[in-house]
């Protein structure tokens, strides 16, 4: 068991999470004065071309540190709840676990359960707050540490950290930054719990929006939209599920994008310019410039590289649909 650092009492933590974002937070706790005594994560899922059962990032990290791992489908079985209660944890930290926790689970640890949520609650509740913030043109986002209740991201807020969203941010870059901020904020909240110095602020439900799970179909670009909306969609959906369109019946995926000033007079989706700066494409209002994209069956490349061999395919006047 770890020794307390800087006179911070150690808490015995049960950690519940599944993806990389959760593993980042878990790593920070492992490097803190607090003890992770058990880990909960979703059951192994098929992955890769061979569809081999694969452990989640959180499970892999737990196994590296010899932490017991539990993978219930849900907590509807009495033995799963009794197993959790028997751990006698001080607190449960939940990060992108992907399983709805019933009231009995929320009440099992001595201090309840807290959640690390990648949004400035109550702005975006739900599964995809990072991408929705970019897609909707938010100027800032952040991480909220929340005391969990039975609702979906509705619990009282314990702390927040804020970060601006820049015009060059993507879903991937913002994910990485929020994972780091969330890890720091979580450890700070654990330290506050350990000395009894937490305070909670209720959420204003009237300000809440639901961040629906992303779908591949949603990534289809609607060229009649204004350039800022197309710009935001492409950034939000990078690296997944990636915004896409079609040219000559074949899918083209877009990764890096800039807004171009001026008023495009051509039909939305029309290529206005194709040069070493990228592809300039008309939208419903204004234009965008694509600097990195991926053709069907190929890897993503800078547009300049693609134009070297496919200049005619993406010449001025051709139209994406």
Fold of the domain built from segment(s) 217-310: 3.10.25
Q: What is the pLDDT of residue 195?
A: 95
Backbone angles phi, psi at 37, to 5 degrees: -95, -15
Q: Locate CATH 3.40.50.170 in the chain.
A: 12-211
Q: Locate CATH 3.10.25.10 in the chain.
A: 217-310
Q: Which two tokens stand for residue 269?
A: 């989706």
Q: What is the pLDDT of residue 265?
A: 83
pLDDT tens digits, residue range 85-127?
999 999 999 999 988 899 999 999 999 999 999 999 999 999 9
pLDDT tens digits, residue range 127-159?
999 999 999 999 999 999 999 999 999 999 999
pLDDT tens digits, residue range 214-244?
999 999 999 999 999 999 999 999 999 999 9
- How far are the Cα atoms of 15, 29, 183, 244 from residue 25, in angstroms, in the given order? 10, 6, 4, 32
Cα angle: 276, vertex 279, 282; to 5 degrees: 145
CB 23 within 8 A of CB 8: no
Q: Which two tokens stand for residue 93?
A: 């930290």
Q: What is the pLDDT of residue 17?
A: 97
Q: Identify which of 42, 39, 10, 11 has the alpha carbon closest to the alpha carbon of residue 26.
A: 39
CATH classification of 12-211, choosing from 3.40.50.300, 3.40.50.170, 3.30.1280.10, 3.40.120.10?
A: 3.40.50.170
């Amino acid at each position: 068991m770890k020794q307390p650092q800087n006179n911070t009492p150690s808490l015995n933590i049960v950690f519940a999470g599944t993806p990389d974002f959760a593993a980042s937070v878990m790593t920070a706790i492992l490097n803190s004065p607090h003890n992770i005594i058990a880990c909960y994560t979703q059951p192994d899922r098929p992955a890769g071309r061979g569809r081999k059962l694969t452990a989640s990032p959180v499970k892999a990290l737990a196994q590296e540190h010899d932490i017991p791992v539990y993978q219930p489908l849900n907590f509807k079985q009495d033995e799963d709840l009794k197993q959790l209660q028997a751990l006698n944890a001080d607190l449960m930290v939940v990060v992108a676990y992907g399983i709805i926790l019933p009231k009995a689970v929320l009440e099992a640890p001595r201090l309840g359960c807290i959640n690390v949520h990648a949004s400035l609650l109550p702005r975006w509740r739900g599964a995809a707050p990072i991408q929705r913030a970019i897609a909707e043109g938010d100027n800032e986002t952040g991480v909220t540490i929340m005391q969990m209740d039975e609702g979906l991201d509705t619990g009282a807020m314990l702390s927040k950290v804020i970060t601006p969203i820049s015009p060059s941010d993507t879903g991937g870059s913002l994910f990485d930054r929020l994972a780091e901020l969330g890890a720091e904020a979580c450890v700070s909240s654990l330290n506050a719990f350990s000395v009894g110095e937490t305070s909670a602020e209720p959420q204003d439900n009237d300000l809440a929006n639901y961040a629906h799970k992303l779908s591949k179909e949603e990534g289809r670009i609607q060229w009649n939209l204004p350039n800022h909306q197309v710009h935001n969609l492409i950034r939000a959906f990078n690296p997944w599920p990636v915004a896409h369109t079609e040219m000559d019946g074949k899918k083209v995926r877009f990764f890096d994008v800039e807004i171009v000033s001026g008023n495009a007079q051509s039909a939305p989706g029309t290529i206005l310019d194709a040069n070493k700066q990228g592809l300039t494409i008309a939208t419903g209002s204004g234009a965008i410039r694509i600097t990195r994209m991926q053709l069907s069956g190929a890897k993503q490349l800078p547009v300049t590289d693609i134009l070297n061999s496919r200049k005619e395919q993406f010449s001025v006047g051709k139209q994406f649909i």
